[in-house]
A = this chain, B = another copy of it.
Amino acid sequence: MRIARFILLLALVAGGLGCSAALVPSDPLPSWNDGPARSAILALVDAATDESSPAYVAPGERIATFDNDGTLWVEHPLYTQGVFALDRVRALAPEHPEWRTEEPFRSVLTKGEAAISGFHMEDWQKIIAATHTGMSTEAFEQTARRWLGAARDARWDRRYPELVYQPMLEVLQYLRDNEFETFIVSGGGQEFIRVFSDGTYGIPTWKVVGSSVETRWEETERGPALLREPHLFFLDDHQGKPVGINLFIGTRPVAAFGNSGGDREMLEWTTAGGGRRMGMLVLHDDARREYAYGPAEGLPDTHVGRFTQELYDEARRKGWIVVSMRKDWKRIFPWED
């Protein structure tokens, strides 16, 4: 009996040591400088996971939503999906001789990305219809996957899924390590983002909320197919973000991360919930390491990821936290030295 108890004791001690070794605290946000943004993230997680805290949140309700363009990855000088669409126009041009005279295709083919400065919404609609619809969901996925694996941006000569922000990858992981569910809620195309979200962010397809076109079921000789139709089904931007959160997630977030006016209603919806909530906006104020645009002094305005003074004032008023890429982030990209 004594020996058995001794063995049990040893096993418990050994098990306990193994356990505490795994729990040695390490910095969960190594790419963040000390400051209010880092502190706010740590404090939110501490409170949400502390059962004795009045701000405790049960695991199934620990929802965090992230805009994609400009919040998780680079959006300048043009949204990546826009670059993809223009590349597809060039790739498909041989099958469309009529594009040599038909706008906006003619401009894309002759002027390249310089053409887009004169584009209106309907020009983009034509380009999206021509490049994103008229094929099966599987064919679209394959095309997008091939492009994302090959295309390189002009400034860093990197594949686009490499242009993700290391500090935000750390936030995603830190939240998931604390039983948060992390979702993308993007104005961009849902099926486009789903192609790389799991490999890049660790976010599976069903946790990607985005804009979508109508799909139509068809039974073909080769089996059933879902065909992408040239009609918008759901626009997940501005007011569409809280609507999409309700539709796709069904639980109000505890924390929401964005960077532009399209995220305003998502942050409003999130922080209007009861209890402790957090809204966070990434400010692009680092022209040297990334890009600089927005409401801070001396930064230019932009149509891609617009962060107005009005939104900045609302953030101040409501206690949303503005992340300065320049001051808050030690590094921008995972591959930086």
User: Residues of A at under 8 Å CB distance from B?
Assistant: 7-8, 10-11, 14-15, 18, 60, 137, 181, 183, 190-191, 194, 198, 204-208, 212, 215-217, 219, 223-224, 226, 233, 239, 242-243, 246-251, 265, 268-269, 272
Q: How far is the CB of A69 from chain B (nearest CB, A)?
A: 19
CB contacts (< 8 Å) of A217 on chain B: these are 239, 242-243, 265
Seed contacts A60-B204, A224-B272; 12 additional CB < 8 Å A-B pairs:
A11-B18, A181-B204, A190-B247, A194-B250, A206-B206, A206-B251, A215-B247, A217-B243, A217-B265, A219-B268, A233-B247, A248-B248
Q: Are A242 and B265 in contact (CB under 8 A)?
A: no
CB contact between A248 and one of B18, B206, B223 (< 8 Å): that residue = B206
Interface SS of chain A: helix
Q: Give 14 CB contacts A-B under 8 Å.
A: A7-B10, A10-B11, A11-B14, A11-B15, A14-B14, A15-B15, A60-B204, A190-B247, A204-B251, A206-B248, A206-B251, A215-B246, A215-B247, A217-B239
Q: How far is the CB of A208 from chain B (nearest CB, A)?
A: 7
CB contacts (< 8 Å) of A265 on chain B: these are 217, 224
CB contacts (< 8 Å) of A246 on chain B: these are 137, 215, 226
In the bound assembly, the distance between CA atoms of A279 and B192 in angstroms comes to 29
Q: Are A226 and B243 in contact (CB under 8 A)?
A: yes
With A239-B217, A242-B217, A242-B224 already in contact, the answer to whether A251 and B14 are too (CB < 8 A) is no
